[in-house]
Amino acid sequence: MLPIRRRKRGSSACPTCYEPRALSPLAFQTARAIRDAVAARQVSAVEVCEHALARIDSANPKLNAFLAVARDRALDRARAIDRERHTGPLAGVPVALKDNIMTRGITTTASSRMLQHFVPPYDATVVGRLEAAGAIVVGKTNCDEFAMGSSTENSAFGPSRNPWNPDYIAGGSSGGSAVAVAAGMSPIALGSDTGGSIRQPASLCGVVGLKPTYGRVSRYGLIAFASSLDQIGPLARTAWDAATALSVLAGADEYDSTASQEPVADYVGSLSGDIRGVKLGVPRKMLEQGVEPAVRNSFYGALEILGAAGAEIIDIELPHAPYAIATYYIVATAEASSNLARYDGVRYGFRAEGARDLKEMYEKTRSQGFGPEVKRRIMLGTYVLSAGYYDAYYLKAQQVRTLVRRDYELAFQTVDAVVMPTSPTSAFRIGEKVEDPLSLYLTDVFTVSANLAGLPGLSVPCGLTPNRLPIGLQLTGRPFDEATLLRIGDTYERHTHWWQERPE
């Protein structure tokens, strides 16, 4: 139950309100605790919602996690939950959405000038499923423009800042969602993961991030970056909260032909706290270079804890992993150049002024509407798809992608999950790598292979650097076996305190 102090009843007192000094503990409660308290009527959904909105008002000016706050929609939804005594798995729980997920009546920009004033006429499938489960959508979170980036510095509206140290990046591209959870503005947030964009910011901000198997969660209403790689998933405080969110989000969807018909597992029921006999594969050669010492130490410390909990640690090889980054940045940019061809200023979004004809209007709109990184990726993708280069680059990249997937298939004949650091480094200072995009691309070295292979991946907090910046542990599993990853992550949380650490 939540530690809530209510006001005394009186003519001017609200019998369901609590004193401001009791608000702080609520900010860092888990979704599970909030839902249980709302169900027990220890706190109302309106109180929870008002607190979340107040927290956003106070923290967001410094951290830039939210681009839009859905105040009226959130409060209306909270009142309905209280009135109906909603009993859904997320009843009364505030949820934030990455700003590339469509929300009817709420500005959805993908953090791009191109869509700065775009208001969708419909909700994404995941939004409807969240609200049917009782969740309260409180706003839209900042991200790298069109989800292209690893630091949220590519947002047209400024970078999100890491709540552990606002001079440092929050990661990306779902940086705003990670900040919202880490800073106590929302216990759950949704992001999208194309090459690590849920797991990496979760790692850098000290929260849990889950990329489901490709097709496990509907992409209907997600603004596409790379359609064969994109996947929506939750960021949360705990593996339990992530499991609950996935149980709500997962399943087939008539509006998305790539959404799988595979039965949805009992993710929460799988959290037994028992990993005895679970086999974890460690590709040690991948850790030999480019890994920050604090990250390496935390990773091997986590392996010891998992081993002590009953897991068997086995060395494995992923021989084509060194080629994953290059492969990813060919496949992803090729798909992006196609997906972003539709943004021309004709029907919606930004339109440049002063064009003399249609061709000039196209050119000016796309030149002014897209930021530097998006234009870089469009040009790269157009190049690898062009005549004379398609076979040399795109076709070869797809062949290597198959080899990466086969490496995992072979590994999973021996192990139940592959374990690595989520990111080779902790967060770095904002602006430190802006002029060196290649170094930013390399921060995805441990995450992109799961996207190329369509596999689920989970990041959980596993340590802090000497200057108190979070470090994440990544688990990658068999297709549609999120339950095993969540069980391992939950067991690890039971044996450690890292998930309870908060920014000062």
With helix as H, strand as E and coil as C, how does 255-268 read? CCCCCCCCCCCCCC
Distance CA 111, CA 67 (A): 8
Break the chain into its structural domains and give their ranges.
Answer: 28-319+406-500
Q: Residue 60 is encoded by which pair of tokens?
A: 């967001």
C-alpha dist (Å) from residue 356 to 70, 113, 294, 341, 343: 39, 22, 57, 21, 19
Q: Residue 397 is encoded by which pair of tokens?
A: 């990249």
Cβ-contact 184, 176 below 8 angstroms: no
Q: Say what the pLDDT of residue 435 is.
A: 85
Q: Say what the pLDDT of residue 5 is.
A: 34
Distance CA 500, CA 162 (A): 17
Identify the burial level of 356 via C-beta atoms within 10 angstroms of its C-beta, where 0-12 means exposed, 13-18 middle and 19 or more buried. Answer: exposed
Per-block average pLDDT, block size 10, for the chain (504 residues)? 36 31 68 97 97 98 99 98 97 99 98 96 99 99 98 98 99 99 98 99 99 99 98 99 99 98 98 98 95 98 99 98 97 98 90 93 96 98 96 97 99 99 98 89 96 99 98 99 99 98 92
Residue 203 CB partners (closer than 8 Å, separation 6+)? 171, 209, 421, 422, 423, 459, 461, 470, 471, 472, 474
**DSSP structure string for 350-391:** ---S--SSHHHHHHHHHHHHS-HHHHHHHHHHHHHHSTTTII
Helix (H, G, I), strand (E, B) or coil at 27: helix
C-alpha dist (Å) from residue 418 to 290, 309, 313, 400, 414: 19, 17, 10, 20, 10
Q: Calculate the CA dihedral of residues 331, 142, 130, 417 and round it to 10 degrees.
A: 50
Residue 326 phi, psi dihedral angles, 5° rounding: -60, -40
Of these residues, 150, 173, 337, 423, which one is catalytic? 173
Look up the pTM and report it: 0.94
Distance CA 195, CA 378 (A): 17
Cβ-contact 265, 291 below 8 angstroms: no
Q: Say what the pLDDT of residue 504 is.
A: 81
Q: Scanning the structure block, which residue is given the tokens 């929609």?
A: 73
Q: Say what the pLDDT of residue 436 is.
A: 87
Q: Say what the pLDDT of residue 26 is.
A: 84
Cβ-contact 35, 87 below 8 angstroms: no
Of these residues, 197, 218, 298, 423, which one is catalytic? 197
- The architecture of the domain spanning 28-319+406-500 is Alpha-Beta Complex (3.90)
Helix (H, G, I), strand (E, B) or coil at 271: coil
Q: Say what the pLDDT of residue 419 is.
A: 99
Residue 484 CB partners (closer than 8 Å, separation 6+)? 270, 278, 416, 417, 477, 478
The DSSP H or E segment spanning 63 is: helix 45-63
Name the nearest CA neighbour of 124 among 116, 132, 113.
132
Question: Is 98 annotated as catalytic?
Answer: yes
Q: Say what the pLDDT of residue 417 is.
A: 99
Of these residues, 44, 98, 218, 423, which one is catalytic? 98
Question: Is 279 annotated as catalytic?
Answer: no
Q: Say what the pLDDT of residue 269 is.
A: 98
Question: Is 8 annotated as catalytic?
Answer: no
- The edge-to-edge listing of strands for the beta sheet with 136-141 is 66-69, 136-141, 94-98, 188-192, 232-236, 208-211, 457-464, 470-477, 417-421, 279-282, 312-315
Cβ-contact 237, 181 below 8 angstroms: yes
